[in-house]
Structure 1
Amino acid sequence: MEMALVHDLGESIIGDAIYESGTETIASLDKKHEDERRAIQEIFKDIPGKEHYISLWEEWVAQKTPEATFLKRIEKLEMAMQALEYERLGHDSVLLNEFWENAWKYLKGTELEKYYHELQKQRNLLQRKK
């Protein structure tokens, strides 16, 4: 739970840098992490136990533990949910395809794949109504 709370804090300072579009890498992930690392260190500089929080963020970045990879998949599932909500609000579904493609890249073959498929079913129903 702590990792889930800490992992996006750097983006609160530097913004949500986009490094993927659909299934393609379009920018340097290393640069994004470098900028976020500086932001995380700034956020926690005066907090007792800062090393613990910074290490959680580093665990997230490394994506080598089951907790970190699961959190990444949850984040991608949430992105698909947000894309579906945008479509419900009338946004062009074609423009949102890259979000669906990127989520699928991380969710296929995982324990969350069935939830992705459920969101896709809702998307398909929505598109049939248009």
Structure 2
Amino acid sequence: MVIEKGNNPFDLFEVFQEAFPGEISSIFKVYLQFNHLKRVYRKGWLKSGISPQICESDADHSLGVAFLGLILAQKYAPSLNQAKLLKMAIIHELGETVVGDITPDEDYPTRKQEEFSVVQKILHDLPNSRELVGLYSEFENKSSPEGKFMKEIDSLEMVFQALIYEKEFNFDSIQFLESVQKKIMNPHLKTVFEQIKKIKKLES
């Protein structure tokens, strides 16, 4: 099964290394690696029959999480730090630039550790590296109000995408709704999810 649309960004950088001298080289290296999220498929959709031609990438998903988190935070959680929310959304899939998208049914016990190492490596040379790595950890560990909120937004965005695929391509979204039922704990986000359940007539 194809899981990527292009080359590993660490290998691809060698092509550009001599073209960008000094500081711009390190900036471009970080961007090149982040850019690779555009080339990593969301494998869960592929396994469910969505073709590579229409399958969303990690970058597509990250943008969706950022926008959904922003509008729902403004409505339901205005006290949260919105800058933190957006930063978390943008970088939360960064580890998959190397590890790839891993679905819950795959046995990969070291995935989180490997992804964290990739994030550290990619962000290492940035002036705000410590802040960004910290935000990545907050998201993964749900160790702050913003991290908890965005972790649930991450799941909710997948549900929204499943509904879109269902309407466009006769796709069955039930399994994706079922997979996140116990992950949505925020009362406001749970209300949103319950409305979706009513539409789908999904039993608890």
Instruction: Note the residue ranges of structure 1 that are not aligned, 5 or more in a row.
Output: 125-130
1:122 Cα deviation from its structure 2 partner: 4.0
Asked if structure 1 preserves the Cα contact closer than 8 Å seen for 2:138 and 2:144, the reply is: yes
TM-score normalised by length of structure 2: 0.50
Does the aligned pair in 2 maintain the 1:10–1:37 contact within 8 Å?
yes
- Conserved? CA contact 2:149–2:186, under 8 Å: no
For 1:74, the equivalent position in structure 2 comes to 153
Residue identity opposite 1:71 in structure 2? M
Alignment partner of 2:183 out of 101, 106, 114: 106
Question: Which protein has the bigger helix share?
Answer: 1
- The higher-RCO structure (CA 8 Å, 6+ apart) is 1
Aligned residue in 1 for 2:138: 59
Deviations 1:66-100 (A, max 9, x none): 1111101111111110111111123342xx32210
Of 2, 5, 18, which residue of structure 1 is paired with 2:103?
18
Unaligned runs of 5+ in 2: 1-85
In the other structure, the counterpart of 2:125 is 46
Is 1:91 aligned with 2:91?
no
Letter in 2 for 1:32: R
Aligned match of 2:196 in 97, 115, 119?
A: 119
What is the percentage of aligned positions where both structures have the same residue? 28
How far, CA to CA, are the matches of 1:83 and 1:108 in structure 2?
20
**Count of aligned positions:** 116
Structure 1 contact 10–36 (Cα < 8 Å) conserved: yes
RMSD: 2.1
Matched, 1:5 2:90: yes
Larger Rg: 2
Contact 2:88 2:139 in 1 (8 A): yes
Q: How far apart are 1:112 and its partner, in Å?
A: 0.5
